[in-house]
Structure formats: structure tokens, C-alpha cells
Amino acid sequence: MGGSLLQNAECAPRLVMADPAEAAARMKIDRAGWAAQSYARYDRASVMKIARAVAEAAHQGAQTYAEWAVRETGMGVVEHKRQKNEMSAHPLVDFYEDTDLVSPRVDAARKMVEIPKPAGVIFALTPATNPVSTLYYKTILAVLSRNAIIFSPHPYAKGCCFDAAKRLDAAAVAAGAPAGLIQCVEEPTIPLVQALMASPRVQVIMATGGGPMVRAAYSSGNPAIGVGPGNAPVYVDPDADQTLAARRIVDSKAFDNSVLCTNESVLISLDADRSRLERALRAAGAHVCSEAEVAKLREWLFPGGHLNTKAIGKSAAWIAEQSGFRIVASNRVLVAPLGQVGLDEPLTREKLSPVLAWATADSFRRATGMAQMILRMTGAGHSAAFHGEDPQKAMDFAAALSVYRVVVNAPCSQGAAGFATHLAPSFMIGTGYFGRSSVGENVGPQHLVHWTRLAWNADSAVAMPDMSAVRAPFDGPDAPPSYPPQPARPAQHEAGGMDRDLLRQLILQELQQLTRGST
């Protein structure tokens, strides 16, 4: 009998305790769902008020989080991170000031009405290289498009990101946003992130980070906007102002110790122009390595052919010292002259550090071919740069390369990201079909909204009614909060009302979705 009791006990179902971190994160998603549902009924004036309040909070915290990010990650330059944080605040809202993603659009000529529909809940990844600026940027995109957003920061930057998200959410709520609009996972882990990416309560994933995590986002079963790695080639033509071109390239490559994926990776020039450009690079603050120094740099930076991640975001002087040689403290970039480019030369890959490979060619056509060869290795669809005065060469260069943005006579780090050109300011650089991404342009709030279209009969005999007096579906911040769900009200049968049975069915459906989402 004792044996049967023991057997029965072993066969009995056991209580399985949910992982506390995963349970907490799922609660965040449920909370964000209610916030998104409420926020989707705000009008544009309310949305812009909240966006401005969030931008101001971001601006005020720019210095604090720049210092925090460098301290926590060990990457980058505080002053440059402050600039990136500030550029991801008010200037970002200013850029989209005239982009209305809230109000219905009436096109009488085509007999069509377009109603914007927000995605809902966004699950966003942020990298260690640009943690807070990316969080700022994605938050403002979500706010402008009336979406809720939950962040999963890189573990190396979880402290600064969690605090920044709290600051922005508090500012949004104070401006009238529903609670839970902006949230952050406290303790991100790979299993947790994978579970949340696959949640049916998430409508879209914004994936910024390493290749494996971006691929995981695409394979999660949820819609995803992902971006690929950069490896921007930069060509300097003989007719360019060599001094100005060198200064722009060095300033760009040194910016935040080159952690932006838009930075110049491989410099290409013509053989006949080598000495002029070398003098200009040295004058701009670059250290041009000797052949022996290049060998040491290659060995330390790419041990076994793989990037040494210790170099990411570190200074040129620190990398030189680790590689076994010294440079003067004023040198901001290491330039490594190479005899060839391609798979056999690891220095022509993405480095995310102030190390600039340099190759020369005997003709413009050959230089263009070298640039395309570099992009075939990595960085397809991303960015390239051109310095010169011949518009035909600029056109030919851009047409030959598998990239979606070519920065001309400007620093590529800032230019491709929209901060030194009129491209959209962005910390998600779409790499399109070339880079196996769903978006080929700089990602903006328009990518987080789809449109429902009312299309009238095209027959001219069928009139489209006057839409000027039709009410838009806005309740605004003064409407009752949708979180937590409210109990059913007495039946209403007047226009715009909802009967008790239908409301009960909707609440039951919502509870069923919540139950499925937590299993």
C-alpha cells in the first residue's frame, strides 16, 4: 500500500512555478496593451503635447544618461553620447512636426478616406553601443504613432535604460498619457527576450542589436523591423578638397569612438593621390600605421579572424596600446593602409572602433568595384560615403553599390543617421532587400502605423458624401482609463452606445486573450 501511495504521489501533477522575471514582463505587456488601446483614441493635439513633454524630459536627462551609459558599458565618449541623446529629443519631434499619423485623411478626388491604425504594443531591443539615444528615439517614434512600447535593453546597459524609460514614462503620464505607455524590462535574458518576442500580445518588434538577435526577431512569428550591420566604404576623389574630406572623415570616425554603425569603415582613394590624402589625414588627427603596426593591429583586433569585442567603443590610443604600439594622445583615429581588400583581410570588416582601413586603386572604376566588394562581405544595404565635386561620379558610385544611402561631402556617422544631412534622423538604418531587412529607409514613426481605407465606387455616377461633418474616433486623455478593464455599464441603445451583451462578450474575449498570452 505504501508503494502504491508513493507511486500515486509521483504520478500526481506538480505545481510549476512561473519564472518571476517572465511573469513580470508579461504583466508589462498586458499593461501596455491596455495603454495602447486607450492611447489609440487620442487626437493629434494630445499626442503632440505628450511627444513634446517626453522630448523635454529626454533633453533634460541627456547629460546624466550619457555619463551613465559610458560608465555602465565602458564604450564611447560622454560628450558625444550627450549630443546623440539631445538629437534624439526635440530635433526628432521637430522633424516629424508636419507628419500627421493621427487624423483621418480625406481624398475627395480619389473618393477615399484613410484612417490611421497604430500597431499597438511594440517590443523594442536596444544595443549596448547606443543604449539611451536608441531608447529615446524609439520612444518618440512610438509616442508620435500612438503606440505603447516595452524595451529590452542590452544587459550591459540595463541600468541606464531602465531609469531613462521610467523618466520618459513619468513625463508622458504627466502630459496626459495612459499609464504603462513606456516600460522597460529590468533583468533582460536571452530566454526571456525570445519568449516576449513570440508573445501574441506584441504587435511588432523593433530589433536593433547583433545579427543573431535580429534574426531571432524575424523568426519569432511576430512582425519585425530589423536592421543589418554597417561597413560603410568611403571614397575620396582627387578633385575633392583633401583637407576638408580628411577632417570630415576623421571627425566622423572618432565620433563616440565609432560605435555608430553608420561610421566609415574602409577608406578608398586613388594611387596617384595617396600622399596628399595621407598628409591631410595626419593633419586631421589620424595616426597612419606602419606596415608592422598594421600587422599588430590586425592580430589583436581580429584574433582567429573574429572581432575582439573589447575594442568596441574604445579610444584609438587604448587600442594601439593593446595592440603593442603607442601613438600620441591627440590622435583620434588609427588608419591602417592595406595591400588588398576582401575576405582574406579582416580589417575590411565592420570594427565599431576608431580603426579605419585604407586601400587605394588605380582608377575610379576599380575603386567603385572595391567598395562593392567590401559591401558583399558585410554591410549590404546600409551606407556609403563619397567626397568629390563631380556629380556624375557621385551618381555612378551610388548606382553601382548595394546600399540605400550614400552621404556626399559630409561625415557618414552623422550623415547617414540624418543628423548632418536631410535624411530622416534615425537610430534604425533600414538595409532593405540588399541587407535582408523589411525596410530600406531610415525608420520613422510612419513605419509603425497602417491605414484603413474607405474606398467609394469609382463610377462617377456614384457620389462620395461630404465628410466634413463626420466625427473622428477620438476620446482623448479625459476619457475613462482602459486599464484596468471597467465593469459593464447599463445597456445603452442610443447612437454611439453599446448594449450590455456585446460589452460582456468583448470583455470575455479580452480575458481569453490575456489567458492565452500568459501560458
The residues carrying an active-site annotation are 261
In eight-state DSSP terms, residue 307 is: -
Q: What are phi and psi of 505, to 5 degrees?
A: -65, -40
In eight-state DSSP terms, residue 401 is: S
Q: Are 281 and 250 in contact (CB under 8 A)?
A: yes
Sheet of 381-387: strand order equals 286-288, 333-337, 355-361, 264-270, 232-236, 381-387, 403-408
CA separation for the pair 146, 158 (Å, rounded): 25
Q: Which residue has the cell 522575471?
A: 21
Exposure b/e, 409-425, CB count within 10 A at least 16 = b: bbbbbbbbbbbbbebbb
Q: Judging by DSSP bridges, how do beta strands 355-361 and 148-153 pair with one another?
A: unpaired
Q: Are 378 and 217 in contact (CB under 8 A)?
A: no
Q: What are phi and psi of 59, to 5 degrees?
A: -60, -45
CB-CB neighbours of 496 under 10 Å: 6
Rounded CA Rg of the chain: 27
Q: Are 347 and 298 in contact (CB under 8 A)?
A: yes
Complete DSSP assignment for 211-225: HHHHHHHHTSSS-EE
CA separation for the pair 405, 414 (Å, rounded): 12
Q: Are 266 and 341 in contact (CB under 8 A)?
A: yes
The three grid cell numbers given for residue 251, joined into one nine-digit string: 571627425
Alpha helices in 157-310 (DSSP H): 158-174, 190-197, 211-218, 242-254, 274-283, 291-301
CA 75-409-433 angle, 5° bins: 70
Measured in residues, the chain has a length of 519
> Which residues are 268's β-sheet partners?
235, 359
CA separation for the pair 122, 139 (Å, rounded): 10
CA separation for the pair 195, 191 (Å, rounded): 6
> Which residues are 360's β-sheet partners?
269
Is the Cα dihedral 142, 143, 148, 153 positive or negative? positive
Q: What are phi and psi of 509, to 5 degrees?
A: -60, -40
Name residues whose C-beta falls within 8 Å of residue 418's C-beta, 6 or more positions apart in sequence: 95, 424, 425, 426, 442
In what helix (H) or strand (E) does residue 147 lie, and over which residues does it extend? none
